[in-house]
Amino acid sequence: MDARKDVNLLYDSKADVCYLSFGEPTPSICEEVDKGVLVRLKPETGEVTGITIIDFSKFANVPLTVPTHDWIPGESAPASDS
């Protein structure tokens, strides 16, 4: 069985939040594992479905070159510009 999943990255420059999602969107719960770092978990299995990093530019400490989008969590993510 192939356990690989698509990884989607979205950076909201206005909120300075980076969203990493693994696989298809799924209902998840969040657990803060460090200040501003939230791990999203599938409640039934504990499988990691994504990671949210608040104040991402402080964590990155490098010029941001990821695509940026204005996106509101809970809404469908915009299509990639690529």
Hey, which residues does 20 pair with through a beta bridge? 9, 51
Return d(Cα 82, Cα 75) in angstroms, integer. 20
Hey, which residues does 12 pair with through a beta bridge? 17
pLDDT the model gives residue 24: 84
Which range has highest mean pLDDT (12-16, 32-36, 69-73)? 32-36
pTM of the full predicted structure?
A: 0.68
pLDDT the model gives residue 81: 47
Return d(Cα 38, Cα 73) in angstroms, integer. 14
Q: Are 4 and 23 in contact (CB under 8 A)?
A: no
What is the share, in percent, of the chain residues with pLDDT greater than 90? 44
Question: Is a pLDDT exceeding 60 seen at residue 78?
Answer: no
What is the share, in percent, of the chain residues with pLDDT greater than 70? 70
pLDDT the model gives residue 1: 44
